[in-house]
Amino acid sequence: MSYTCGMLPVLDKAGDHQYEMAEYEGARARWCPGCGDHSVLTAVQRLLAAEQMIPEQTVFVSGIGCSSRFPHYVKTYGFHGLHGRALPAATGIKLNRPELTVFVAMGDGDCTSIGAAHWVHALRYNMDMTVMMLDNGIYGLTKNQTSPTTPQGFKSNTQPYGSYLPALNPLAASLGITNASFVAQTAEWAPSHLYATLRAAYKHKGFSFVRILQRCPVYTPSLFQRAVQEPERIQLLVHDDGVVTPDLEKIYKAQLHHDPADLAAARQLAEQDDRIILGVFYRNPSKPRYEETRRVVPRTPAERVTLLEEEFARYAV
């Protein structure tokens, strides 16, 4: 069975075919052994299979970086673009093909440095897509340069005496943008939390920004070491409208009941730097989405020519 969205045929969910997880596997991942990106890929492939997403109606968009190799490793459509430019490409795709399910994979450099302007405006445009920012606190692909999320004092090739400035806080920054509608944090070493958070992000109608704390055993091996080994450093946000992971609640005993509808509380939590907080900080499904107001109406080539001629005529002297 199929229905139509404008002029484009849209297939129903998987129909009779039951997709297995293996059917979403693309090329063999070439990340280093122990890289946290592997864990994110597994969670995403699980989600694709659980939701029976149709590969040809799903697209992964990325910039450049280790994490941006993501589209190669999932068997869906993909666009591996330019450093920092994943979000403009994803915006164009969603605007012209709103029926597609769009995922974006970015590194912390990709998103919060060269792509920062796009990040700000994409949050405000609130177009329906799931955005994963894999934060390893460093430029991985180009081998160890300071990124905006590198902790102060951390030595790298570009700041060998230690990063000069305090790290940028991607959660607080996202929550400060007008019309942001979904902001969450998870960690790749907590697979059930990672999966539940990505699922919540996928289900949210709007721009779902998920910061994923990601280990890079090559350049920032110490960054999350204590958080991994000492679960008391982690605090879980729990709420029925957030993510629920009963198995983890035994490991992470520090829990906070937080209603993701409360923006002021979310902003306060995002500023805490004495612990790592995992969960949905903010979710508001009623925020306006740009693709709803600016939907591109599908046209035939002849209609496009007529419209272009009308437009040129307006400027004729």
Q: Using CB under 6 A as the criterion, which residues of the chain lie in contact with ligand TPP when the complex forms?
A: 64-67, 83, 107-110, 114, 134, 136, 138-142, 147
Give Cα 158 to chain centroid, integer Å.
27
Residue 281 interacts with, from ligand SF4, ligand TPP, none (CB under 5-8 Å by kind): none
CB of 215 to ligand TPP, least distance (A): 11
- Phi and psi of 57, rounded to 5°? -115, 20
Task: Check if the beta carbon of residue 55 is closer than 8 Å to that of residue 76.
Answer: yes
3-state secondary structure 262-304: CHHHHHHHHCCCCCEEEEEEEECCCCCCHHHHCCCCCCCHHHH
Name which of 69 and 97 has its Cβ closer to ligand SF4. Answer: 69
Residue 231 interacts with, from ligand TPP, ligand SF4, none (CB under 5-8 Å by kind): none
Q: Checking DSSP bridges between strand 8-11 and strand 2-5, what pairing results, if any?
A: antiparallel
User: Which residue is nearest to ligand TPP, using beta carbons?
Assistant: 107
In terms of C-beta distances under 8 Å and separation of at least 24 residues, what long-range contacts does 79-83 make, across chains too?
Answer: 83/109, 83/110, 83/114, 83/115
The partner residues of 185 in beta bridges, in order of sequence, read 211, 279
135 vs 168: CA distance, rounded Å: 11
Residue 105 interacts with, from ligand TPP, ligand SF4, none (CB under 5-8 Å by kind): none
Task: Name the token pair of 81.
Answer: 């673009």
Enumerate binding residues for ligand SF4 (CB under 6 A).
Answer: 31-32, 35, 37, 66, 136, 140, 216-219
Residue 218 interacts with, from ligand SF4, ligand TPP, none (CB under 5-8 Å by kind): ligand SF4
Name which of 67 and 185 has its Cβ closer to ligand TPP. Answer: 67
302 vs 317: CA distance, rounded Å: 25
CB of 317 to ligand TPP, least distance (A): 40
The three-state secondary structure class of 32 is: coil
Residue 142 interacts with, from ligand TPP, ligand SF4, none (CB under 5-8 Å by kind): ligand TPP
CB of 134 to ligand TPP, least distance (A): 6
CB of 166 to ligand TPP, least distance (A): 18
Question: Which residues 6+ apart lie within 8 Å of 203 measured at CB?
Answer: none
Task: Check if the beta carbon of residue 108 is closer than 8 Å to that of residue 86.
Answer: no
Give Cα 219 to chain centroid, integer Å.
22
Residue 83 interacts with, from ligand SF4, ligand TPP, none (CB under 5-8 Å by kind): ligand TPP
CB of 11 to ligand TPP, least distance (A): 33
Name which of 30 and 226 has its Cβ closer to ligand SF4. Answer: 30
Name which of 87 and 237 has its Cβ closer to ligand TPP. Answer: 87
CB of 180 to ligand SF4, least distance (A): 27
Task: Name the token pair of 116.
Answer: 């920062």
CB of 107 to ligand TPP, least distance (A): 2
147 vs 152: CA distance, rounded Å: 11
Residue 62 interacts with, from ligand SF4, ligand TPP, none (CB under 5-8 Å by kind): none
Name which of 83 and 283 has its Cβ closer to ligand TPP. Answer: 83
DSSP state, residue 262:
-
